[in-house]
Structure 1
Amino acid sequence: MKIAPKRIPSFLQTPDPKARAILVYGRDAGEVQERLAALVATVLDDPKDPFRLRELGASDVKKDAARLRDEAAAQALGGGRCVLRLRSVGDDLTPTLRDFLGNPAGDALLLLGAGDLSARSTLRKLFERADNAAAIPCYGDTAAALERIIKDELAGADITDEARGYLLAHLGADRMVTRRELEKLALYMDGEKKITLPDVIQSIGDSSTLTLEDIAFAVGRGAREALEQALARTHLEGISPIAILRATSQHFLRLHLVRGRMERGEDLSAALQSLRPPVFFKRMPAFREQAMRWKLGAIGRVLELLGAREVTCKSGVLPAKVICDRTLLEIAVRGGGKN
C-alpha cells in the first residue's frame, strides 16, 4: 500500500495491522531514521530491547536469503512481538522480499530503510502494490514542517525574523542534521531566550549546508574559481557527490519557479516572495541576478542534466566525484552569461 503524505503522521502512530513489512525510503536520511524509530515504538516499549529488536544488513540477506525468514519467525526470550530492521535495501532484494510477502514467516514487523528510490524502482513498486506491505517516502521537510521542528527544538525562545529566515534557508535537507544543529544552537545560547542572526551564524555557520549553498550559487553565476574552491571543501568534509548535485538541483528548481512566474507576467519581487523557504537576505542580490539572467529553457536543461548525472553517479561507470565536478563546471561555464 502506498501511504499518501497526509496519512503518514497517523500511520506512524498506528500502522495498518495488515502491513507485515514497511519500507521507509527517500533522500532525507535523517527523516528515514526518525520514521523507522517511530514505527519501532509502536511495537516495543523499549526501542533498544535486545531480545525483541533485531537488525540485518542487506548484504546479510543477499548472502543467505533464508536468514530473513528465520529471523522473522524467531520468538523472543520472554515473549512479545518482535521487530526486524533491514538496513540499506535496494532493488536487488526485490525477489527475496516478494517471496517473503507471498508467504510471511512469524509475526515480526519487518522494517526496511532505503535511500532515494525512483518511481521505476521494483522494490518501491512491490511495497506500494502489496496488500500486506506499505511504502513511506521521505523527501525532506517542507517550510511548514521545518518551522514546527524549529519551534519544538527551541521551545520558549524569542527568535528574530532574520534569525528564523537564516535557519529556514540553511536547514531542512536532512532532519537528523537539522535537529543536531538546533540542539547545538540551544546549547550555544545557554539559557538566553533572545536568539538573533549573529547567534545563529556563530552556532551553525560552519554547517556543510553553507558550503553546498556556496557551490549552487557559484554554479549559477558561472564563477569557476569559487566553484572549484567550494568543491574542494565539500570533498574534504566527506559530503557525497550526489548530495552536492541535489543541492544544486534544488537551487535551480527555485530559479525555475521564480523565472516561470516572471514569464507569466509577475514582477521579480513578487515572484521571489513566493519562495518557501525564502531566500536568505544576504544571498538575495545574487539570487535576483541569476533569476534575471537565466532563461527558463536553460534552467530546465540544467535540471535534466543534473538528474541524468545523478543516475550516472550511481552506475559506477566513473568515480562519482569526477562526474559531479565535471557536471558542475560544465554548467558554470554555460551559466557565465551564455544561456
Structure 2
Amino acid sequence: MVAVKSSGVSRFLKSPDPACRAVLVYGPDTGLVSERAAALQKRFAEGAEEAEVVRLDDRDFAEMDGRLSVELGTMPMFADRKVVRVAAGARLNPDELKAALAEPPETALIVEGGNLKPDSALRKLFEKLPHAAALPCYAEEKNLGALIDEAFAAAKMNIDRETRTYLMNRLGADQALSRSEIDKLILYAAGKDRVGPDDIDAVVGDSAEVAVENFVYLVSGGDSRGALRQLGRLAGAGTPPQVALAALGRHFMKLHMVAAAEAANGSADAALRKIRPPIHFKRRDAFLRDSRHWGSHRLQAALPRIQDAVMKARLSPALEQAHAERLVLALRSR
C-alpha cells in the first residue's frame, strides 16, 4: 500500500481497506497515536462477539525471541478474533517483522511508533507491503479546532472566536491531553452559557505559563518591583529563572519586530498578524503600548543584554536568580 497522507488518515480510519491486516501508527503526537490505534483496534474487531487484544512491548521481546511471530501465528483460544498491539521500541526487530508479514496475517497487527523519519525501516516496511499501511499522526490546528467545537457543541456551551483561539494557544500538541483539558474546562464552567478567558486561565494548562507571561509584561511595562515579586513567586513554584529569561527574550523580540514595522510603515497591524502564537486580545493593548514606549532602537539594544543574561544563567545555575534580578533592574533603568 502507498503511505497514507496526514490529510487522508481520518478517511482511512472510517473505511480502511479490507485487505489491510497490519498498520503502523506513528508521529510526535503520542495522544493522537494512541487514539487512532484504539480506533483501529475497534475496526479490526468489528463483527466479532468478542476479540482478544494482546499488547506487546520491549519487555515481552526481551523475555522471548520471536514473540511477535508466535502471537501473529497463534489463533485466539477464547475469542472470535485477535488483535496484537505493539509499542515500537529498540527491541522490535524490523527483519523479524518483515518475515512475519510476508503473507497477510490472520491476526491483525497495530504498531504504535514515535516520530519516525522517512528512511525508518518500520515506515518503509509498512508503506511498501500490499496488505499494510502507515498512518502519520501530526497535531494540526484544524484538528484541535474541531476537537473544541465538538466538545462545546456536545455540552451545549458557547465560546466566541477570540476565546477559542486563546484556548487553542493554551493547549499542547498532544491530542489526548488537549481533550482532557477541554473536558476539564467544560466541567469547571458547567452552568454557564458562555466560556470566557478567565475560565481558561483558571483551569487549563500549566499555571506557570500564565505566571511567566505576567512576568514578561511586568518587565516590558516598567514595573520592576512587580516583576521581581513575580520572579520570586516563579522560583518558589519551581519554575527556573532560565525559563522566565528565555520567555522575556522572545517577548522583547516580538516587541522589536512590531516597533520596527511601525517605524518603517507607520502601522503595526501587519506585523502583529504575523506573530505566532498571536497576541491574545486581553494583552494586545499592553503589547502595543510597551512596543511604542520602548521603540525600535531601545528594544534592539535590550536584546543582547537579555541574551547575555540567559547565557550566564545557563552557565551558572546557582546564580541564575541573581542574573535574572539584575537584568530586570538593568532594563528598568534604560
1:53, 1:84 within 8 Å by CA — same for their partners in 2?
yes
**Structure 2 CA distance for aligned equivalents of residues 215 and 19 of structure 1:** 48
147, 150, 163: which is aligned to 1:149?
147
Which residue does 2:192 correspond to in 1? Answer: 192
Judged with a 3 Å threshold, the aligned counterparts in structure 2 of structure 1 residues 105 and 120 are, in CA distance, closer, same or farther, namely closer
Unaligned runs of 5+ in 2: 220-227, 308-313, 318-323, 325-329
Judged with a 3 Å threshold, the aligned counterparts in structure 2 of structure 1 residues 281 and 43 are, in CA distance, closer, same or farther, namely same
Which residue does 2:311 correspond to in 1? Answer: none
1:94, 1:123 within 8 Å by CA — same for their partners in 2?
no
Q: Does 1:4 align with 2:5?
A: yes
SS at match of 2:86: strand
Q: Does 1:38 align with 2:39?
A: yes
Indicate the larger mover: 184-193 or 226-235.
Answer: 226-235
1:146, 1:172 within 8 Å by CA — same for their partners in 2?
no
Indicate the larger mover: 119-128 or 32-41.
Answer: 119-128
Aligned-pair RMSD on alpha carbons?
4.8
2:94, 2:121 within 8 Å by CA — same for their partners in 1?
no
Q: Mapping of 1:244-259 within 5 angstroms?
A: none
Q: Mapping of 1:265-304 within 5 angstroms?
A: 268-274=268-274, 278-282=278-282
**Structure 1 CA distance for aligned equivalents of residues 72 and 236 of structure 2:** 45
Which residue does 1:329 correspond to in 2? Answer: none
Judged with a 3 Å threshold, the aligned counterparts in structure 2 of structure 1 residues 99 and 165 are, in CA distance, closer, same or farther, namely closer
**Structure 2 CA distance for aligned equivalents of residues 16 and 231 of structure 1:** 54
Q: Which letter does structure 2 place at the counterpart of 1:182?
A: I
1:47, 1:53 within 8 Å by CA — same for their partners in 2?
no
CA shift for structure 1 position 72: 1.4
**Structure 2 CA distance for aligned equivalents of residues 57 and 169 of structure 1:** 34
2:158, 2:193 within 8 Å by CA — same for their partners in 1?
yes
Q: Does 1:86 align with 2:98?
A: no
SS at match of 1:191: coil
CA shift for structure 1 position 40: 1.0
SS at match of 1:27: coil
CA shift for structure 1 position 82: 1.7
CA shift for structure 1 position 5: 1.7
SS at match of 1:86: strand
Which residue does 1:15 correspond to in 2? Answer: 16
Q: Mapping of 1:1-339 within 5 angstroms?
A: 1-45=2-46, 51-77=51-77, 79-87=79-87, 89-90=88-89, 92-104=91-103, 106-142=105-141, 144-155=142-153, 156-204=156-204, 207-208=205-206, 211=208, 268-274=268-274, 278-282=278-282
**Structure 2 CA distance for aligned equivalents of residues 111 and 234 of structure 1:** 40
**Structure 2 CA distance for aligned equivalents of residues 113 and 147 of structure 1:** 25
Please list the CA deviations of residues 128-179 of structure 1 after superposition, one character each: whole Å capped at 9, or x if unmatched.
Answer: 333332221222131x222211111111212134432320110141111111
Q: Which letter does structure 2 place at the counterpart of 1:56?
A: L
Q: Percent identity?
A: 29
**Structure 2 CA distance for aligned equivalents of residues 83 and 101 of structure 1:** 15
1:62, 1:93 within 8 Å by CA — same for their partners in 2?
no
Indicate the larger mover: 161-170 or 109-118.
Answer: 161-170
Which residue does 1:317 correspond to in 2? Answer: none
Please list the CA deviations of residues 267-323 of structure 1 after superposition, one character each: whole Å capped at 9, or x if unmatched.
Answer: 65224325676333356566996xx768xxx9xxx9xxxxxxxxxxxxxxxxxxx99
**Structure 1 CA distance for aligned equivalents of residues 47 and 266 of structure 2:** 54
Please list the CA deviations of residues 10-57 of structure 1 after superposition, one character each: whole Å capped at 9, or x if unmatched.
Answer: 1111222333221111221111111111111112259995x5211111
**Structure 1 CA distance for aligned equivalents of residues 145 and 27 of structure 2:** 21
Q: Which letter does structure 2 place at the counterpart of 1:73?
A: G
Judged with a 3 Å threshold, the aligned counterparts in structure 2 of structure 1 residues 267 and 64 are, in CA distance, closer, same or farther, namely farther
Q: Which letter does structure 1 place at the counterpart of 2:52?
A: R
Q: Which letter does structure 2 place at the counterpart of 1:74?
A: T
For normalisation by structure 1, the TM-score amounts to: 0.64
- For the pair shown, the structure with the greater C-alpha radius of gyration is 2
SS at match of 1:85: strand
